[in-house]
């Protein structure tokens, strides 16, 4: 008897099982659930308290759906009943606590755009380093193997 050939999409989903299992185990950790959340307008950070007593904070300018929000919109935060997610009703924005802890501030496209902006960022130190590197002949060529 031969094994039936699985469609590509089924094989792709089966390859994701270990990752999904690991994520599920993290979801079962009650100490990583939010018990309180607020927007600190003075420091321009969303602060989240976890069930284990620790806190973490993040700037809303990094988050998809929150980047251009007003203080009033950011100040109204709801925590999901299980403490696994945060919801901003005025913005219709939702984020998972686990995702925020992992540094996932939006979709993959959003995260790529954030990375691209970071790479384009300019500062006096970066400009000085580029000038110094240019005076030495620029970036070294890649070694050919």
CA distances 48 to 8, 63, 80, Å, are 40, 14, 13
The pTM for the full model equals 0.62
Q: Which long-range contacts (CB under 8 A, 24 or more apart) does 51-57 make?
A: 51/83, 56/100, 56/101
- Domain hosting residue 34, numbered range: 8-104
CA distances 68 to 16, 82, 91, 136, Å, are 34, 28, 10, 42
Residues 48 and 79 reside in one and the same domain: yes
* CATH of residue 44: 3.30.2020.40
Residue 125 has pLDDT above 80, yes or no: yes
Which residue shows structure tokens 């606590």?
A: 97
pLDDT band at 43 (very low <50, low <70, confident <90, very high): very high
User: How confident is the model at residue 21, as a pLDDT?
Assistant: 66
Measured distance CA(134)–CA(76) in Å, rounded:
50
Burial track 11-24 (b if 16+ CB lie within 10 A, e otherwise): eeeeeeeeeeeeee
Average pLDDT, the chain: 84
Residues 23 and 90 reside in one and the same domain: yes
């Amino acid at each position: 008897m031969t094994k039936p050939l699985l469609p590509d999409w089924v094989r792709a989903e089966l390859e994701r099982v270990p990752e999904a299992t690991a994520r599920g185990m993290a979801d079962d950790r009650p100490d990583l659930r939010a018990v309180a959340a607020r927007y600190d307008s003075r420091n321009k950070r969303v602060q989240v308290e976890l069930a284990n007593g620790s806190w973490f904070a993040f700037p809303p300018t990094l988050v998809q759906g929150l980047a251009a929000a007003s203080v009033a919109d950011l100040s109204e935060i709801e925590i999901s009943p299980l403490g696994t997610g945060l919801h901003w009703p005025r913005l219709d924005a939702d984020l998972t606590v686990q995702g925020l802890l992992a540094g996932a501030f939006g979709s993959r496209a959003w995260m790529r755009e954030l990375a691209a902006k970071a790479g384009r960022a300019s500062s006096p130190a970066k400009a000085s380093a580029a000038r110094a590197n240019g005076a030495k002949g620029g970036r070294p060529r890649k070694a050919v193997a």
